[in-house]
Structure 1
Amino acid sequence: MNPRALITGASGAIGTAIAHTLAAAGHEVILHAHRNRDTAEAVATTIRDAGGRARVVVFDITDGSACREALEPLAAEQPVQILVHNAGVHDDAPLAGMNPGQWAHPIEVGLNGFYNVTQPLLLPMITTRWGRVIAITSVAGQLGNRGQSNYAAAKSGLHGAIRSLAQEVASRGITANAVAPGIIESPMSASSFDTEAIRSMVPMRRAGQPEEVASVVGFLASAASSYVSAQVIGVNGALA
């Protein structure tokens, strides 16, 4: 039986593409949602209609107790051996005008959420002696971005967490990597960047597609990536 995969933030453009890619590879996909349950359910239905296996779990990734209540029964039923932490939010403002809530929000979802989801799943994963932990980060975590010190801090924090985790679990057949997208075509990017801005910023002169991120995740989730760990892989059109 193929390992099953949990994808956090699975209702967005990148999360949806990752879910379809992993389902097409034969994995059962567990789609996490919080406020967008209907969208995640629609993704799961599409996957099932295509012959794949998918279900939805709903919980607040910033609530450690809620994460454990949702994830411990899943792990007891069958260890989750592929974890893709894709959940993340923006709350942009220049640091000089950023209030404490704005600073905390991306860190609570992106960085603390990584701990809340990963920690309960690790020991069951370790018992199988095979696993893949993949964090979806951002080019902002490598280069920074004006108005996004909070978001960049969350994403660069994930890079450190992934590299450390990779060393902790390497002898157990588990890899840990990050995928750092640049500007990817989505409703969120469309509200921030017009076509001309993208052409001037990105050496490839276009936005990336969610499927281009998902294909890298698909490789990292596969047996073919068994000697790739502790890496931050950019998908950014040569932006970095």
Structure 2
Amino acid sequence: MICNLLLVDDHALIRAGVRALVSDIPGYQVIGEAADGEHLLEMTQELKPDIILLDISMKDSNGLDALERLHKALPDSKVLILSMHTEPQMIMRALEAGAHGYLLKDATGTEIEQALEALRNDERYLSPAIAHTVINQALVSAQSNKVEPVENHNLTARQLEILRLIVRGKSTREIANGLNLSVKTVETHRSQIMKRLQIYDVAGLVLFCVREQIISLDD
């Protein structure tokens, strides 16, 4: 089944480049493009894309504002941020506003495919290049908010191992290959982890791991 994509970026060359990369990935097609977020909601309601690739900084609109409106109006459409911004506050704001993934614009075709595949399978994707940045921001947030640790999270040793890999930005397939497990087994563990913790986004998982000292900046 074909996965339909909508590109939202105010640079025509960026849109052309992403479209060219996507054209080489089986199972995906770009069904529309937009240069700003002004008419984005109307366009998405008409086209109903499966995944929206959204830039944060555009000349005439704010991608984060558009993201919040999209998340409320079209909960079934996944949003993959495609940006050059690596500032921790910006990344966390995007994730908290409802982004399902965050990818840097200098990503390779392979990484774009991994990100799209993750979102298509109802997973989250965080570019490995910014995983350390997100962990650092989560640590700062945890310290400033003085959040109390969650006791008795009831995760097994294997689930903790998989959780560490998830918050480092590893895809399900990468985790499966690294641990010699099947993709289905990793997906089951991921689902159980989120259900037990009642956390269903990457930002929340990262913050939890920092609070509970499951992961540190030295990892």
Q: TM (normalized to structure 2)? A: 0.46
Report the TM-score when normalising by structure 1. Answer: 0.43
